[in-house]
Amino acid sequence: MGRSPCCEKQHTNKGAWTKEEDQRLINYIKTNGEGCWRSLPKAAGLLRCGKSCRLRWINYLRPDLKRGNFTEQEDDLIINLHNLLGNKWSLIAARLPGRTDNEIKNYWNTHIKRKLYNRGVDPQTHRPLNDSAVSTTVPTAVPPRGQITTSHKNIIIKDVSIVSNSKLVCEDSNSNSSSGVSSDQEAYQHQQLNLDLSIGLPSSRPQNNKDNLMLQQPQDGDYEQQETKVTPSHGVCLCYSLGFLRNQVCCCNKDIGNSVTTAVTDNNMYRFYRPMNI
């Protein structure tokens, strides 16, 4: 039996889009909006599969796309987000307005990888290339960098943001001192990091509580207004709106079980840690 094809095989066009096809797609979406990609080609008079239409729109035709070269700030942000998220290009793209996951993925593979190699940094691990002691410096309980793991398989990572010019540094800030990294690399690894996490709880919870279970990411500049509404009745601990600053470490592992620990800095980015004893 096998999976059904994404679209009828009967004479659909492939390859590069023509200007006429682009215009048809643009006109259709302007009139009818996005969505229902499967039926869109027929409705728009296109001999393309829905997938192809969706991709063309998202990666090329969307009016809010930013074309042109990536800035240094965008480079840094991509590197930092990749360090945290790994190859989650759609999550990374969500933090770069006007950029698509495909564009970022291509840019990563063609530019940033090389840039990191030139800096002596492994683009996959974000560690120095000559750092052969990874397995001895990272405890086995610590997940690989770029991955977020949890024993609660239904926990949802809703959002992650990192302030530009920041980097996740989750090891001892002195640990590189004997690894032969250059001062540039060291400086690079010690930039500050701030990140916001909004985490939802397992979907097995009652539906009518759903809205109360999602932690919403605050709007920019609106951090103090965020509020958690999680019902404190199950054994889950959440940390959110946490960040690493130079010479500071995450407080996740201490005092689990107390109510709310707040760590507000003057830049308003390293804020709280809220363990929830449920």
Partner DNA sequence: AATTTATTCAACCGCGTTGGA
Partner DNA sequence: TTCCAACGCGGTTGAATAAAT
Name the nearest CA neighbour of 216 among 227, 205, 208: 227
Beta carbon of residue 239, minimum distance to DNA (angstroms, whole number): 21
Angstrom distances, CA of residue 83 to CA of 119, 177, 214, 241: 15, 21, 25, 18
By CB under 7 A, the count of residues binding DNA is: 35
> Of 1 and 141, which has the nearer Cβ to DNA?
1
Beta carbon of residue 210, minimum distance to DNA (angstroms, whole number): 11
Beta carbon of residue 164, minimum distance to DNA (angstroms, whole number): 21
Is 65 in contact with 101 (CB distance < 8 Å)? no
> Of 89 and 273, which has the nearer Cβ to DNA?
89
Q: How far is CA 54 from the centre of its chain?
A: 21
Beta carbon of residue 103, minimum distance to DNA (angstroms, whole number): 5
The angle subtended at Cα 139 by Cα 192 and Cα 88, nearest 5°, is: 55
User: Applying CB under 7 A, which part among 10-18, 159-167, 181-189, 244-252 lies near DNA?
Assistant: 10-18
Residue 16 engages DNA in binding (rule: CB under 7 A): yes
Beta carbon of residue 53, minimum distance to DNA (angstroms, whole number): 8
Instruction: Provide φ and ψ at 81, rounded to 5°.
Output: -65, -40
> Of 88 and 167, which has the nearer Cβ to DNA?
88
Whole-angstrom distance, CA of residue 184 vs CA of residue 182: 5
Is 196 in contact with 221 (CB distance < 8 Å)? no
Q: Which of residues 76-135 bind DNA (CB under 7 A)?
A: 87-91, 101-103, 105-107, 109-111
Beta-ladder partners of 194: 243
Name the nearest CA neighbour of 246 among 161, 134, 165, 143: 165
Q: Which of residues 31-60 bind DNA (CB under 7 A)?
A: 35-38, 48, 50-52, 54-56, 59-60
Residues engaged in binding DNA (CB under 7 A) = 3-4, 6, 13-17, 35-38, 48, 50-52, 54-56, 59-60, 87-91, 101-103, 105-107, 109-111
